[in-house]
Structure 1
Amino acid sequence: MTSKRSLTIAIVAGVVLGLDQATKAWALAVLDDRIIDVIWTLRLRLVYNTGIAFSAGRGLGPILALVAVVIVGFLWSSRRRFGGPYAQIGLGCVIGGALGNLADRLVRNAAWGRGAVVDFIDLGWWPVFNVADAAISVGLVFVLVHLYRSERRSDGGSRLAAE
């Protein structure tokens, strides 16, 4: 069971990482000198982020890269706790997204960890983001729902046993 769980998480993480890097390569090739208006406020616009979410923490690249490695390691070692398919998909999305942004930090500059994350999805009313960021956000929702449901099941069982 654990190997199936690990395989599911690894496949999802790999797909997210691949999609993230492919879309970033496209953005770098196409959006370097232009902005593409898509629909309503959605546009595709190339920006570089050397910080964390919402460009906070600029210049902390090596520390952020190290933190990302630790987080990915912790999440991977915690995979046995995520038994349901949605939790596994969520965990794979978070790991894949973290690896996608970590890859940018590692390869987008000659100095280790000082690279900038490529962002290109601009809603106009939200900070510019990328596929990795979206996967992390969606994955966290899946994981939190799983944790909430698990907690409710364990509380319900405890209350029934106590009565």
Structure 2
Amino acid sequence: MSEPSTYPQPPRRGFVLAVVAAVVLAADVLTKIAVVASLEGEAPVRLLGGAVYLQLVRNPGAAFSMATGMTWVLSLIALSVVVAIIWMAPKLRSIGWAIGLGLVLAGALGNLSDRIFRSPGPMRGHVVDFVSVFAPNGDFFPVFNVADSAIVCGGALIVLLALLGKDYDGRSTKEKAKAGSSEAPAS
């Protein structure tokens, strides 16, 4: 029989995940509405001396315009990511993981909503992208949006936490290994 943990259990972090996801999703939706309303048919807008260009691009593929024509598959993948994060939310006890997963959730929902509700039709809709860095038309780096940025930042945070040995339940992998070795039956 194992001894009870001497570490207090951190609070659940589902609320943090939900707040991060809601704020970032709102930013994604609002920026896409503004871009479609103001940049449709317009030339790219040069900002910060050409470091950033704003322009409307409708992307039928995934990041970097990969998988063009596979929009329905990308929609199913995004839906799977959303379901997995929602399933994991009650188990979250790490603030870092809650923020990372909230960012990924918001990004997946933002781009999924484009694929469902935008032209040319449900599960085939094109994602609204609008930020091009260092050159217009994605000549230097592919055009992206707030949702794409959230997915990348959230994914990077999750990878960093994993590399640092921090798990979603608030414990470190070292704590889990130590607890696992103390629970092993003696031979």
TM-score of Structure 1 vs Structure 2, range by shorter chain: 0.7 to 0.9
Q: Give me the TM-score of the superposition, normalised by structure 1.
A: 0.88
Across the two proteins, how many residue pairs are aligned to each other? 162
Aligned to 2:108: 98
Counterpart-to-counterpart distance in 1, 2:172 and 2:125: 44
Counterpart-to-counterpart distance in 1, 2:173 and 2:10: 21
**What is the RMSD computed on CA atoms of the aligned residues?**
2.6
Percent of residue pairs identical: 35
Alpha carbons of 1:41 and 1:111: their partners in 2 closer, same or farther (altered >3 Å)?
same
Report matched runs for 1:76-155 at 5 Å: 76-109=86-119, 111-123=121-133, 124=135, 125-148=140-163, 149-150=165-166, 153-155=172-174
More deviation in 106-115 or 13-22?
A: 106-115
- 1:108, CA displacement in angstroms? 0.7
Q: Give me the TM-score of the superposition, normalised by structure 2.
A: 0.77
- The reply on whether 1:61 has 2:71 as its aligned counterpart is yes
One-letter code aligned to 2:155: L
For the pair shown, which has the larger CA radius of gyration, 1 or 2? 2
Q: Which runs of 5+ in 2 are unaligned?
A: 1-8, 183-187
CA distances 1:7-56 after superposition (whole Å, capped 9, x unpaired): 21111111111100100011111111131100133110110111111111
One-letter code aligned to 1:42: V
Report SS of the residue matched to 1:59.
Answer: coil
Alpha carbons of 1:103 and 1:22: their partners in 2 closer, same or farther (altered >3 Å)?
same
- Is this contact kept in 2: 1:2–1:80, CA < 8 A? no
Report SS of the residue matched to 1:103.
Answer: helix
Q: Which runs of 5+ in 1 are unaligned?
A: none
